[in-house]
C-alpha cells in the first residue's frame, strides 16, 4: 500500500427492490472491497428491502482504488447467489477532502462538491459531498448491475485526511 490518506468509514444503510433468489424472497448481505481489503455485512433473512445500518472500516491509501460492492443471497446447501454489483470512484471524495483542507473548513456543514451519475460510478442520482463538522461525508444510492433491479444506500465518511 502507498501513502495513507485516512480512514474510510462506510455505513451500509439499506437496500431497495433487491431481486428474488430463493423461492419467494432472498437473504441478502453486502460485501465491500477496496484494494485487498474486504468487509461484509450481516445477513438479513427473507427481505428484499433490507436495512443494515452497519459500519465497515477501510484504510484509504494511494494509489486510490475503486470501492466495489456485491450483494449476495445466503444459501445453506449451495453457494451463495449473486444479487448484483456496483462500484464507486473514490477520487471525488478525496478531492473534496483536499478542498476542505485548503479552505480550512472545520465546523458546520458545507457542500464541497456534487457528483453526477456517469460511467465512472453506479450512482442512481446526483450526490453531494459535504464537510460536516470537519468530516467529509457522501451519501450515495448505487444501482446494482447484472440484475433486473436493486439499489443500495451507503454513507461514506473520510475521517482523517492528510493533504498533499
Q: What is the 3-state secondary structure (H, E, C) of the chain?
A: CCCEEEEEEEEEEEEECCCCCCCCCCCEEEEEEECCEEEECCCCCCCCCCEEEEEEEEEEECCCCEEEEEEEECCCCCCCEEEEEEEEECHHHHHHHHHHHHHCCCCCEEEEEEECCCCCECECCCEEEEEECCEEEEEEEEECECCCCCEEEEEEEECCCCCC
Q: What is the pLDDT of residues 67-105, one digit of tens each?
A: 999 999 999 888 999 999 999 999 999 999 988 888 887
pLDDT of 65 reads 81
User: Would you place residue 22 in the very low, low, confident or very high pLDDT band (cuts 50, 70, 90)?
Assistant: confident
pLDDT at position 120 is 77
- Is the pLDDT at 132 greater than 70, yes or no? yes
pLDDT at 161 over 50: no
Stretch 139-151: mean pLDDT: 97
More confident residue, 143 or 4: 143
Looking at residue 1, its pLDDT comes to: 55
pLDDT of residue 152: 98
Taking residues 55-71, what's their average pLDDT? 91
Amino acid at each position: 500500500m502507498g501513502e495513507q490518506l485516512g480512514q474510510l468509514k462506510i455505513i451500509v444503510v439499506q437496500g431497495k427492490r433487491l431481486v428474488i433468489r430463493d423461492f419467494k424472497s432472498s437473504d441478502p448481505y453486502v460485501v465491500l472491497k477496496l484494494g485487498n481489503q474486504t468487509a461484509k455485512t450481516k445477513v438479513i433473512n427473507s427481505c428484499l428491502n433490507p436495512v443494515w445500518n452497519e459500519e465497515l472500516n477501510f484504510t484509504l491509501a494511494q494509489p486510490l482504488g475503486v470501492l466495489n460492492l456485491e450483494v449476495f443471497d445466503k444459501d445453506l446447501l449451495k453457494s451463495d447467489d449473486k444479487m448484483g454489483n456496483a462500484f464507486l470512484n473514490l477520487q471525488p471524495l478525496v478531492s473534496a477532502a483536499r478542498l476542505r483542507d485548503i479552505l480550512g473548513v472545520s465546523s458546520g456543514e458545507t457542500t464541497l462538491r456534487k457528483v453526477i451519475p456517469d460511467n465512472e460510478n453506479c450512482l442512481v442520482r446526483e450526490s453531494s459531498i459535504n464537510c460536516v463538522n470537519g468530516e467529509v461525508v457522501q451519501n450515495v444510492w448505487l444501482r446494482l448491475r447484472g440484475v433486473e433491479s436493486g439499489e443500495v444506500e451507503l454513507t461514506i465518511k473520510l475521517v482523517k485526511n492528510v493533504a498533499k
